[in-house]
Structure 1
Amino acid sequence: MKKFKFFTVISCVFLIFLSACNSNEQSSIKIAEVTRSLFYAPQYVAIEKGFFGDEGLDVELTTTWGGDKTMTALLSDGADVALVGSETSIYVYAQDSRDYAINFAQLTQTDGTFLVSKEPQPDFKWEDLKGSTFLGQRKGGMPQMVGEFVLKNHNIDPHADLNLLQNVDFANIPGAFVSGDADYVQLFEPTASTFEKEGSGHIVASFGEESGHVPYTVFMTKQSFIDKNEEEVMKFTKAIYKAQQWVQEHSAEEIAKVIQPYFEDTELDMLAASIDRYKDQGSFATDPILDEEEWNNLKDIMGEAGELPAGDLSYDDLVNTKFAEDVIED
């Protein structure tokens, strides 16, 4: 009897030991980001500051260079989570996809592009654009749709009042502006600030300030992944929220030092200046919640651009705020 009790105790201790070991196991999450951009600074902070690791997540980040490629990676299980414009979830849903993408954590809440002119314009007015050659972004993407939305709000018809160029790939737009005849271009940071420093262009306006809050870049995953991995999605959202709070509480210079490994070709002071510009206009979301007002603003922008698919594109169907709300409460 004593021997039996002894082995029972040993077995219990062994099981407790195994349980402790298992609790330290890391879950692997593959992230596909639509492009490499300091606009996504909180994501890189979450990686570099170990916030994902603190939650038991081992993340693998891949840049997929384009919304279509990013969604293909997500839908084909090449990625578990996609960081991309929330409009892509609407496009997928409209195609009657059975296992569509769910927006669960917002990263940026404004447009991230700036209007850059080739010549200095200290007294710039939006009407100055009329009759100019404008190098725009890819048709159907968030930068282009927000751009058109802002121009129309200033009584500019982008297709009638401008010589609008949309035949250049995203990655080649900066070079095409420098070498071409365009008077204006729509650029992200740090390219916009770099051009200004070099004298290649001059920032005259912000599309983010003009367009208001919108779910510009969001973490999304398939409903089937959520069903099978609720705990991992919760941990992922918690890590992002930690990073968002860290970005809010620290200076642009401190943030730049943390994320510099992702932008080795950009000088630290230029990174800091670009981050400061985004912080000033409130581009980084302060929490992961995508609210319904932002969603409706997105649909208005897509509708104005003629890109909103027909049918019921319900906020309740395509947005899940449960994880974000729970991590904030905790």
Structure 2
Amino acid sequence: MRILPVATAAALLLGACGGGDDDATTDDADEGGGEGEGGSEGGDGASEALTEITVGVLPIVDVAPIYLGVEQGFFEEQGLDVELVTGQGGAALIPAVISGENEFGFSNFTSQVNAVSQDLPLLSVSPGVFTTGEQGDDAAGVVALPEANIERAADLEGLTIATNTLANNFVMTISHAVEEDGGDPDLIEWVEIPWPEMPAAVANGQVDAGVVVEPFVTFAEDEGAEVVLWHWVETDPNFLVAGYFTTEQYQADNPETVEAFVAALDESRTYADENPDEVRRITGTYTEIDEDVLNRMHLPRFGGEFVIEELQWQADLANDFGITNGAVDVAEMLFNE
């Protein structure tokens, strides 16, 4: 694999899917206070204080369910007062949880596996977002101009492909797809370009192709590109893209809080899948995505469960392509209620 450095401006938006080691900044999200300082009525009619938790999230559609869950009161019903703080990279939110700055965080699963491979005491507690499993309708893909004549995964061999960070599930899944199609992924030249700059980089020929998430898939299509590979779908129609995590110590000390958090997330993710218009609406409250793009962009699937066999295969694949620092036993990093 050849990796060419490209000098670019700082990313305006980095997603959960990308992983990497971006510097994180945190700001209180508009919805961050949850349902506030009040209490919930206990079974004996007494007012019970809510447990305050801070969750590190990203300014992307992937975390719409937790914003909706706070708005709908699902977390308050579980006795939780949720503060949402936004960071600029999924992998960068991991140190905030490890240090105890946040109780929970959101990151791509590959970055979580990589953290565990480095002996960090991270515990994955809940899925967050999956591929839709549908060709032509997913929340991420490889985009290129029609004149690139990319008709199948193997055609990416020997091309220059932009990704937001190099150590992420994009490199892993695209390399796998190329290899499965008979190509040589070692001949791909990977370059780092922030997502906001990638549609233009593809359109002006700076790179042959770029791998982007929404809303940048839609932005790229608006600039004349087309999706030439739905890499998550090709890898696994049930591919877990990202999810929520805490630390082993926090779970050991606060098992009821973790169970409540997972239960509220389950309800939130189901609600999001059943109400796509609400997903688009709420995403517009914590991002700067134009309403027209919000209405046209592909949405991911939020509902689903941890499937150990599929996640172990994903972790092994990350190790095979050098994304992680050694093999990981996924069963040991998953929360069991």
Return the TM-score normalized by structure 1. Answer: 0.77
Instruction: Indicate the residue corresponding to 1:260 in structure 2.
Output: 284
- Once the two structures are superposed, what CA deviation does each residue of 1:31-55 show, in whole Å capped at 9, x if it has no partner? 112x322133322322332322332
Change (3 A) 1:309 1:132: closer
1:84 aligned residue (107, 110, 113) = 107
Instruction: Indicate the residue corresponding to 2:160 in structure 1.
Output: 133
Could you tell me how far apart the structure 1 residues matched to 2:201 and 2:94 are? 27
Could you tell me how far apart the structure 2 residues matched to 1:130 and 1:309 are? 26
AA matched with 2:230:
S
Could you tell me how far apart the structure 2 residues matched to 1:43 and 1:159 are? 38
Change (3 A) 1:170 1:249: closer
Whether 2:52 is the aligned partner of 1:28: answer yes
Q: In 1, are the aligned partners of 2:203 and 2:223 still within 8 Å (CA)?
A: no
Greater percentage in strand: 2
Helix, strand or coil: the match of 2:228? strand
Whether 2:246 is the aligned partner of 1:221: answer yes
Helix, strand or coil: the match of 1:124? coil
Instruction: Indicate the residue corresponding to 2:124 in structure 1.
Output: 103
Q: In 2, are the aligned partners of 1:114 and 1:205 still within 8 Å (CA)?
A: yes
Following superposition of structure 1 onto structure 2, how do residues 242-281 of structure 1 map, counting pairs within 5 Å?
242-250=267-275, 252-267=276-291, 269-274=292-297, 277-278=298-299
1:182 aligned residue (207, 211, 217) = 207
Helix, strand or coil: the match of 1:139? coil
2:301 aligned residue (273, 284, 306) = 284
Whether 2:255 is the aligned partner of 1:239: answer no
- Once the two structures are superposed, what CA deviation does each residue of 1:78-124 show, in whole Å capped at 9, x if it has no partner? 11101112233333333334xx0111111113384211113367983
- Once the two structures are superposed, what CA deviation does each residue of 1:222-265 show, in whole Å capped at 9, x if it has no partner? 11111222222122111111112112323x33431233212333
Change (3 A) 1:120 1:56: farther
Helix, strand or coil: the match of 1:30? strand
Instruction: Indicate the residue corresponding to 1:325 in structure 2.
Output: none
Change (3 A) 1:72 1:174: farther
Instruction: Indicate the residue corresponding to 2:64 in structure 1.
Output: 41
Q: In 2, are the aligned partners of 1:112 and 1:208 still within 8 Å (CA)?
A: no
Residue 131 of structure 1, CA deviation: 3.9
Following superposition of structure 1 onto structure 2, how do residues 115-154 of structure 1 map, counting pairs within 5 Å?
115-119=142-146, 124-154=151-181
Instruction: Indicate the residue corresponding to 1:194 in structure 2.
Output: 219
Mark the runs of 5 or more structure 2 residues left unpaired by the alignment.
1-40, 132-137
Bigger Cα displacement from structure 2, 136-145 vs 171-180 = 171-180
Residue 70 of structure 1, CA deviation: 1.1
Greater percentage in helix: 1
Instruction: Indicate the residue corresponding to 1:318 in structure 2.
Output: 333
AA matched with 1:242:
E
Could you tell me how far apart the structure 2 residues matched to 1:194 and 1:255 are? 19
Could you tell me how far apart the structure 2 residues matched to 1:95 and 1:183 are? 34
Bigger Cα displacement from structure 2, 228-237 vs 135-144 = 135-144
Root-mean-square deviation over aligned CA pairs:
2.7
AA matched with 1:103:
S
Mark the runs of 5 or more structure 1 residues left unpaired by the alignment.
1-15, 323-330
Change (3 A) 1:316 1:209: closer
Could you tell me how far apart the structure 1 residues matched to 2:250 and 2:284 are? 32
Return the TM-score normalized by structure 2. Answer: 0.76
Helix, strand or coil: the match of 2:105? strand
Instruction: Indicate the residue corresponding to 1:7 in structure 2.
Output: none
Q: In 2, are the aligned partners of 1:137 and 1:143 still within 8 Å (CA)?
A: no
Could you tell me how far apart the structure 1 residues matched to 2:88 and 2:220 are? 22
